[in-house]
Amino acid sequence: MDTIGIALGAECIIAGLLAIFVLAKPLVAGNSKPDTLMYIKLKGHIKSKEAIEILTNLNRKGGRGLRAWGCILIALGIFVALSNMSEYYQMIYIVAFAPLLLVIPVLQTWMYASRKLR
């Protein structure tokens, strides 16, 4: 364990915890309002009640994906914090940008929504 590993591990753990408890929890629980832009897009094609239901399901799917990737990020952070990163200095740059993994569930949900709404 070294200072670099602990700092990078803490970064990943904090980003994972924020993703799970701040972003994903309201999405999965259904406490967030549907996205306004998607609602406008759906309003012309589908009845209002159906549009809200579709958007709520999309939010739940995105929240579950975000929660899963947040857990992966926490596991990565624990591994990095307990390892000796000074021996693997090439990995420091990769691990420093690991919180960008949270973009993956956003892209997955966007692609699912674009397929579902055609």
In contact, 59 and 34? CB cutoff 8 Å: yes
23-53 confidence digits (pLDDT tens): 888 888 888 766 656 555 665 556 667 767 7
For residue 16, pLDDT over 60 is answered with: yes
What does the pLDDT read at residue 113? 77
Q: Give the span between the Cα atoms of 99 and 47, in whole angstroms.
A: 38
pLDDT for 42 equals 60
Q: What's the one-letter identity of residue 8?
A: L
* Whole-angstrom distance, CA of residue 18 vs CA of residue 10: 12
Token pair recorded at residue 65: 């994906």
Beta strands in 58-107 (DSSP E): none
pLDDT for 95 = 85
Instruction: Give the number of other CB atoms < 10 A from CB of residue 76.
Output: 20
Q: Where are the domains of the chain?
A: 3-116
